[in-house]
Structure 1
Amino acid sequence: MCYHVSNQFDAEEVAREFRLPEVKLDLFKKQYDFNGFEKPYLPVISKENPKELTAYRWRLVPSWVKEEKDWKANTLNARNDELFTKASYRDSWQNRCLVICTGFFEPHYPELGAKEHESWYIKPKNKKFFALGAIYSVWKGIPTFSIVTKDATPKMAAVHNDGERQPLILTGNAALSWLIPNLTQNEMINLMEFPYPDDQLDAYRTVDGIYNAKQNTNVPEAIKPYERPAFDALDLFGL
């Protein structure tokens, strides 16, 4: 699953990095932690306008939904093995976009089966941004998207060890190909197997509480390595 991402750069910096003009990016505001359940707007490059950078809203809503309040499905992510068959996505697989972010978060369980988990942050080692493969649907004039997920690579499986899934990370020709208008299902299946190199990922534990909706994690510490809280050794002995 990929329910939290980061993008600590403003729209101008994103546009400058990708050398694209900004279009309707006023709804995007930089944050250290975007919670998908809050339906934030993120910068995207879409199949429809691959020479523009614009903002789409996270959580895909199919065009046939009458009222969003009645749409109960969790469509923050779209599994690659359900893309062409599940009612939530099968009308949208031809609508592809790249979601631009500086990293994403995953839970890690030191002990599988336990409730306690750590928050881990994954970012590109030698670049500013990830381009995540996604699909979108325009609902009542609002472009809404879902991030495609796939089986995790060995490094990502060790991080997201409960579920062993990861977002589809694309780069180079694979990213450009994702935006080709008339891809077949077989061509998409091949692209969704793109192996983003594990050695190009930085992954580390970060501040606890990323998945706690009651905690404000839109803070710089959200994307920094975890630091164990200081304590007085005498406390161990009740002194």
Structure 2
Amino acid sequence: MIDRYSITASASTLSDRFGVDVPEFYKPRYNATTTQLLPVITHTAPQGISNFYWGTSPAWAKNKTLGEKIVNVRTETILEKAAQQKSLIKNRCIVPADGFYAWKRLGKKSFSPFRFVSRDAGVFSFAGVWEEYDDTDGNEFHTFSIITVQANPLVASVQERMPVILDPKGEAVWLGKDSTEADLLGLLKPLEAEYLNHYSVSPRISDNAADAPSLIIPAPPADQFGNLTLFD
């Protein structure tokens, strides 16, 4: 499951890269995680950044287990469920990012975190879908999920799944109002391994409350308890 990523670019960089207006509430995230309000660009409002909850809102998360069906949507089943098929056609979004995290299993209860970035160290995006909900008090909020695929060989050396990563051409199709279902499904594939780099990072990334520039700095491979390991 993909449940951590980073978007550390400045507002001006995002504006230039995606051709959008970036609101004042935007701030870089070094450890973007579930239930947080995070920037997305929807195909219904592609001119600007929106702030949606990843997976669900914090209030709902207290009473509902966050599962892969909320945080991630698998390409293998996206057309098997009516709600997901509706989202694919009507509620698409892209999620600006400049890296994502994955944990390599070292033992039954031991994992080491890695960060995956593009080879040019630039900003990219994940393909996503979004939903609109009303809570028990009648308040409206929006959530998004990241679409995942079977990992390419590089990511597979750490874990089995990876997000669908889009380039500018793919983003134009994903956000295009006239894109067909065939156009959209054609984008749901793993990015070739040659376009990615990865490196180990501090196990502090496992702390949901941690969010600092030091989290994206390469660190010696270590498990979530801080024990150094020879595995990379």
Per the normalisation by structure 2, the TM-score is: 0.80
Match of 1:189 among 180, 185, 188: 185
Partner in structure 1 of residue 205 of structure 2? 210
- Using the TM superposition, give the Cα deviation of residue 176 of structure 1 relative to its aligned residue in structure 2, in angstroms: 1.2
SS state of the match for residue 81, structure 1?
helix
Partner in structure 2 of residue 16 of structure 1? 16
Runs (5+) with no aligned partner, structure 1: 62-66, 230-239
Match of 2:48 among 46, 49, 52: 52
- Using the TM superposition, give the Cα deviation of residue 166 of structure 1 relative to its aligned residue in structure 2, in angstroms: 0.3
How many residues in Structure 1 have an aligned counterpart in Structure 2? 212
In the alignment, is the contact (CA less than 8 A) between 1:60 and 1:146 conserved in 2?
no
* Distance 1:159-1:73 versus aligned 2 partners, 3 A rule: closer
Q: Residue by residue, what CA displacement relative to the aligned partner does 1:171-226 show, whole Å, maximum 9, x if unpaired?
A: 03222111122444433322102x4232221101110143345xx43222321111
CA RMSD after TM alignment: 2.5
Instruction: Give the strand-richer structure, 1 or 2.
Output: 2
Partner in structure 2 of residue 227 of structure 1? 220
* Distance 1:182-1:68 versus aligned 2 partners, 3 A rule: farther
Matches within 5 A, 1:21-170: 21-23=21-23, 26=25, 28-36=26-34, 39-59=35-55, 72=65, 74=67, 75-86=70-81, 89-94=84-89, 95-111=91-107, 114-140=108-134, 141-160=140-159, 164-170=160-166
SS state of the match for residue 110, structure 1?
strand
Per the normalisation by structure 1, the TM-score is: 0.78
In the alignment, is the contact (CA less than 8 A) between 1:6 and 1:102 conserved in 2?
yes
SS state of the match for residue 210, structure 1?
helix
* Distance 1:107-1:134 versus aligned 2 partners, 3 A rule: same
SS state of the match for residue 22, structure 1?
coil
4+ residue runs over 4 A deviation: 67-73
In the alignment, is the contact (CA less than 8 A) between 2:112 and 2:221 conserved in 1?
no
Runs (5+) with no aligned partner, structure 2: 135-139, 223-232
In the alignment, is the contact (CA less than 8 A) between 2:43 and 2:175 conserved in 1?
yes
SS state of the match for residue 15, structure 1?
helix
- Provide the C-alpha distance between the structure 2 equivalents of 1:3 and 1:147, rounded to a whole number of angstroms: 9
Q: Percent identity?
A: 24
* Distance 1:208-1:88 versus aligned 2 partners, 3 A rule: farther
In the alignment, is the contact (CA less than 8 A) between 2:5 and 2:97 conserved in 1?
yes
